[in-house]
Amino acid sequence: MLAVAFPDTEMQVLPYNRVVKDLGTHSPDSFLAALRTVGTLTDGPPMPGRAGDVSVYVAGHWHTLVLPAAPASLAPDQRLDVSRLQTSVLTPLLGIGDPRSDGRIDFVGGARGTAALESLVQSGRFAVAFSMFPVSVRDLMAISDAGGIMPPKSTWFEPKLRDGLLSHLL
């Protein structure tokens, strides 16, 4: 097991974005209409400006989805934007129950940027991209302190450590 300690001031947490291969039973217009039932949907930038906002790229345009506020009664990991997106959009609207095993969803590390998301959708390989706001170190620590586990593909850390296998003959 590889372990390392970084001061929180020297660590950068980037988002782990999502791309989905199809819109399920939705057309782009009906998907956007369904998103409006989840939260406020407006034209917006490729990167969300704050926690609680998700940028959505579909049919050649970026939109900002403002997720409803998370109840304080939820566990810290369930209050994260990636968890709220899963429970309010990916599962009910797109039918993605388990992001770990569903072949219709893929993940794009934040270091690749939003241009990579646009390219994947424009290529036709994916129908929609979700650009996430990064998880804060404070949220990461709160989940750890509560004994929780981070949702799958919720953080992209920089710097990346070099790792490999070393062998030494005895």
- Name the residue ranges covered by the structural domains of the chain: 17-156
- Grade residue 67 by pLDDT with cuts at 50, 70 and 90: very high
If phi > 0 it is left, if psi is from -120 to 50 it is alpha, else beta; for residue 166 that is: beta
What was the pLDDT predicted at 170? 66
What was the pLDDT predicted at 55? 97
Task: Give the burial string for 103-136 (b: 16+ CB within 10 Å, else e).
Answer: ebbbebbbeebbeebbebbeeeebbbbbbbbbbe
Q: Is 17-156 a CATH 3.30.1760 domain?
A: yes
What was the pLDDT predicted at 110? 80
Q: What is the pLDDT of residues 95-138, one digit of tens each?
A: 998 988 899 999 998 878 899 999 999 999 999 999 999 988 88
* One-letter identity of residue 92: P
Residue 70 has pLDDT above 80, yes or no: yes
Residue 6 has pLDDT above 90, yes or no: no
Residue 164 has pLDDT above 80, yes or no: no
